[in-house]
A and B are shown apart, each in its own frame.
Chain A
C-alpha cells in the first residue's frame, strides 16, 4: 500500500487537476490552497477510504502532506 501516491491521486482527483504536483512539506492550506471545507472533505474521504476515524484533537496536527501520510502510515 503506497499511501504517498494514494494521497497525490486523491488530491488530484478532488481538485479536478488543480493540484498536479505535491511535495511532502507542502502546507495543505497555504501551499495547496485547500480551504477549511476542502480539508474537511478530504479528511472525510480519507476516513472512508482507509476505514478509520481521525480524532478531533489530531486534526490540528495535520498541517502538511507529510503529516497526513505519516499519520496514515502509523494508523492504517
Chain B
C-alpha cells in the first residue's frame, strides 16, 4: 500500500483496531523450520560465518538468550545458533507491518519500544515455563554505530527471578555488513563471527545479585564492530562504505560544528571547515589531512555523547522543531496524524499538533524520568526516507519527523539517555542525603 505520504502510510480516518499486544505467543511452526533453517544457513554461509559455542554442552531449553543487535541479519544467525530448537522473542511493532501473521508464527511477540510493558515479562515467564528459549535483543534497537547500546537493569532482575541458564549470542561484523546508517545494499564481507556462550548457570545465578548478573551480561554482550574489523583485518571494500556515516557522526571534532557533516563514497567530511576523513577497507578512519582525531567511529560517537552530556549537565540542552506525525496503530501500516511541533528537553518529549482528519488537537508527553533510551531511524523507508524519532506509550506508537533544517536524531537519542541518567543520579543523591 502506497500513498502520497509514502509506503504503508495512509491519510484519512484513524484506525480503531490496535495491535493485540496480549495475544498469546505461538511456537515457530514446525513445518516452517526446515525452510527457515535452510534459508538462514545459506545467508550465514554467504559470509562464511562460524558459530563458536562455549559452555553450551548439554544445554537445552528453557533458557534466556540475549543477543546483540546490529541488523536484521542477526535474526538469521540466531536461528542457526539455537537450532534444532526454537525461540520466543519480542519484535518491534513496526517489524510487523504487512507481515504480522508470518512474524507471529515465527515465534515473535510485538513490543512497543521502551515502554514498561509488564505483559511481555509475563510472556517470558510463560515461555520459560513451557520449556522454550526466550530470546531478547536487550538493546531493543539496532546499534547506531556498531558498539553495544544501553541495556536496562531489568534484564538482570528478570534473570535473577527466572533462575534458568543464560546464554549470550555475541555477533561480530554484522554492523560492517549492514550498518544501521548505511544504504542497506549488499556489502560483501566474509569472516563474520558469532559466539554463543552460557554465561550463567542456575547455580551461579543463585549466588549473584541482580546487579552482578547485569554487569556479567553487559560484559558478555559488549561489542565494537569497527575495532573488531580492524584488529582482525577483516576487509570490506564496498566503494560507498562511508555513505550515511554522517548520520551517526553529526559533529565535527575539528571545528566542533554540528549538523554540517556529510559523506560520499569512502569519505566523511565537514561542510563547515572542509576537513575530511577516509573510511578504509579495515574500518579505520584516517584524516585526509592533519590529525586523525578518532581512528574508530565508535570513539567519535563516544566523544559526541560527552558533548551532549555537557549540555545536559549545564541544563542548556533543548530541541524544538515543527514536525509531522505518523501513527502506527496496527500492522496494516501508518496513519498520517498531522503536522505539529516536537519539544525535547530536560522534562522529556512533548509532541503536539492538529489532526488532518478532523482538525482536533493531538498530544503525547513522554516523561524523561520514565524513558532510558529512544529508538530513532535514519532515512526511514516507510517515512519517505526521512529521519525520525519513534515515541511510544503502552497504547500508541508515533513516528515523529522533525522539519528543522538542522538537527540530528542521533543527538536526540544520546540526549535522551544522558537526561535520564542525570535525573536519576540527582534523585538518588537527594534520597541518600535525606536518609542521613
Contact = CB atoms under 8 A, between A and B. Distances in A.
Interface of A: 17-18, 27-31, 33-41, 43, 56-57, 59-60
B116 A29 contact: yes
Contact of B370 (A17, A27, A37, A41): A27
B150 interface: no
B157 A38 contact: yes
Given A34-B116, A41-B157, 20 more contacts: A18-B431, A29-B116, A30-B367, A30-B368, A30-B371, A33-B369, A33-B424, A35-B157, A36-B116, A36-B121, A37-B154, A37-B157, A37-B158, A39-B118, A40-B121, A56-B22, A56-B122, A59-B118, A59-B119, A60-B394
B363 interface: no
B126 to A, nearest CB: 11
Interface in B377-416: 394-395
B161 interface: yes
Nearest to B432: A18
A60 to B, nearest CB: 4
A40 B158 CA distance: 9
A46 to B, nearest CB: 11
B154 A36 contact: yes
A37 B122 contact: no
B427 interface: yes
20 contacts: A17-B435, A27-B370, A28-B116, A29-B116, A30-B367, A30-B371, A31-B369, A33-B427, A35-B153, A36-B118, A36-B152, A37-B153, A37-B154, A39-B116, A39-B118, A40-B158, A41-B161, A56-B22, A56-B122, A60-B395
Contacts of A56: 21-22, 119, 122
A28 B323 CA distance: 30
- List the 10 closest A-B pairs by CB distance, nearest first: A30-B370, A37-B154, A60-B394, A30-B367, A30-B369, A40-B121, A56-B22, A37-B157, A29-B370, A36-B116
Contact of A35 (B122, B152, B367, B395): B152
A27 B117 contact: no
Nearest to B427: A33
Nearest to B121: A40
Contacts of B435: 17
B118 A43 contact: yes
B428 to A, nearest CB: 8
Contact of A36 (B21, B22, B117, B395): B117
A13 B370 CA distance: 22
Given A33-B369, A33-B424, A33-B427, A40 B22 contact: no
Contact of B22 (A30, A38, A43, A57): A57
Contacts of B368: 30
Nearest to A59: B118
A29 B114 CA distance: 12
A11 to B, nearest CB: 14
A28 B161 CA distance: 20
Contacts of B119: 56, 59-60
